Homo-oligomer: A and B are copies of this chain.
Amino acid sequence: MSFSSTLPFTVHWGDCDAIGIAFYPNFFAWFDNGTWNMFEEAGIPMDGLMRDYNGFGFPLVDAHASFHNAPRPRDRLVLHSRVEGWSDKTVRIAHRVMRGDTLIAEGHEIRVWTVRDTDDPDKLRAEPVPGEIRERFT
């Protein structure tokens, strides 16, 4: 079974658009929060990633969401995040947003392992995800 984590959160007033429901880009911000929360729970805090590996934020190459129900201000939601799979240089993370038993939205992120050159921090390159990181998620 793959590693997963849950993150409860409140939909804030400013998260909502002019019709009174969550502005859809915020779902992706919540996905991002869920990913970093999951890494932290797996023992790989974000600042360690950046410092120990010369990491460059584990940037996105692909993101998708489908929306099933519209959350309102002050709704209490729960985000479920899970590593779905790895390729050599990427990880695929699945996210589901629930309000109680109701599915609100679901989607995924694909992130590519990216490091800064030690000699020239402006030079970036994709590299295989270090084995010790992948192991934390199994």
Residues of A within 8 A of B (CB): 10, 12-14, 16-21, 23-29, 32-33, 36-37, 40, 45-47, 50, 56-57, 59-67, 70, 72-74
Majority DSSP secondary structure for residues of A touching B: mixed
| Chain B residues near A12 (CB-CB < 8 A) | 29, 32-33, 36
Q: Is the CB of B21 within 8 A of A14?
A: no
The contact of A73 among B18, B21, B56, by CB within 8 Å, is B18
Nearest-neighbor residue (CB-CB) of A28 within chain B: B25
A33 touches B13 (CB 8 A): yes
- By a CB distance below 8 angstroms, the chain B residues around A16 are 17-18
Task: Given A12-B36, A18-B13, A25-B14, decide whether A64 and B61 contact each other with a Cβ distance below 8 A.
Answer: no
Q: Are B66 and A21 in contact (CB under 8 A)?
A: no
Q: A16-B17, A21-B59, A64-B63 are in contact. Are A47 and B29 (CB under 8 A)?
A: no
Bound complex: CA of A78 vs CA of B93, how far in Å? 29
Q: A61-B66, A62-B65, A66-B62 are known contacts. Are A29 and B46 too (CB-CB below 8 A)?
A: no
